[in-house]
Amino acid sequence: MLSIDLTGKRALVAGIADDGGFGFAIARRLAQAGATVCAGTWPPAYGIFTKMLERGKIEASLQLGDGSKLSFERIYPLDADHDTLDRVPAEVRESRRYKEHDDFTIQGLADRLVADFGEKPLDIVIHSLANGPEVRNPLLQTSRAGYLAAISASAYSLVSMVQRLGPLLRPGGSFLGLTYMASERVIPGYGGGMSSAKAALESDVRVLAYEAGRAQGARVNCISAGAWASRAASAIGFIGDMIEYGARNAPLPEPIHADEVGAAAAFLSSPLASGITGTTLYVDKGLHVMGMAAG
């Protein structure tokens, strides 16, 4: 039987803060395939997430289909807006939700991984990170600061992670990002520069696939997922309408589930996908092929 086997692989899933998003669903599927999983969590959410785990608040979500349980090997604080600690503004470093963490930058994460597991600690890196502080603003009403913040958190963070974590990958390693159809189609209300950030992310995946492939032997892909009602997506303000539209108009007229994205991520991260890089894989019930509404 052909199966996804990630036994002996270590994955880092950056962007887990609860059990409701794509990052958590991907972590579950990677663990179910045999990988050990580390998480990168935004510092302001770190305490909440770790307490949820300690107190058993998401115990049911940790259960895997084979009777085993998802257990995070490490949970690292990570703010992917920052590359190195010396470039973090003092007001961030000294704020209540950050000062308890020694180094929450991407370079700090790389250093911690090497200290904990050795020089080549990783096989799989999942970039499940996005933020647009003005996402509810139409593009015409988006400030320069809001636009650049969306690009920084949602797109450049992948570039920085490949720069700093690529050298830590073992042979056959891979990166995977998460994008959305707003990169190529107009989604009214998905603003604040987030559509531009997703377009940049997809372009960067193609370029990084070439550069990291030649320099590091790494694969770089992304998944364009359909709308999903994660806690983070609630910031958009009309996520329910997006899900309903997809379910009504997609070739498979039903909502996606986060586990479907998780399964696709496990495949793309596995040796079964060793010939796939620079690719955007759609997990949206086929909505991306539609040129007009079905009804």
Tens of pLDDT along 135-181?
999 999 999 999 999 999 999 999 999 999 999 999 999 999 999 99
In a 3-state reduction of DSSP, which class is residue 255?
coil
Tell me the C-alpha distance between 224 and 287, whole Å.
11
- Say what the pTM is: 0.97
**pLDDT number for residue 61:** 96
Q: How confident is the model at residue 232 (pLDDT cuts 50, 70, 90)?
A: confident
What pLDDT was estimated at residue 89?
Answer: 96
Give me the count of residues in the chain: 295
pLDDT grade for 189, boundaries at 50, 70 and 90: very high
| pLDDT value for 233 | 67
Cβ atoms of 251 and 226 within 8 Å: the answer is no
Side-chain-side CA neighbours of 231 within 13 Å: the count stands at 9
Residues tagged active-site: 180, 190
Compute the average pLDDT of residues 6-27: 97
Distances (CA, A) of 74 to 4, 113, 130, 199: 23, 9, 22, 31
The fourth-level CATH superfamily of domain 10-286 is NAD(P)-binding Rossmann-like Domain (3.40.50.720)
pLDDT at residue 120 greater than cutoff 80: yes
Q: What average pLDDT does the chain have?
A: 96
Higher pLDDT, 184 or 65: 184
pLDDT category at 116 given cuts 50, 70, 90 is very high
pLDDT tens digits along 30-73: 999 999 999 999 999 999 999 999 999 999 999 998 889 999 99
Residue 235 has a pLDDT of 73
Residues contacting residue 236 through CB under 8 Å, at least 6 positions apart: 135, 136, 189, 190, 242
Average pLDDT over residues 188-204: 97
Measured CA to CA, the distance from residue 21 to residue 40 in angstroms comes to 13
Average pLDDT estimate for 106-118? 98
**In this predicted structure, what is the pLDDT of residue 66?**
84
Q: What is the mean pLDDT of residues 2-20?
A: 96
Percent of the chain exceeding pLDDT 70 equals: 99
Looking at residue 113, what is its pLDDT?
A: 98
pLDDT (mean) for 1-5: 91
Residue 95 has pLDDT above 80, yes or no: yes
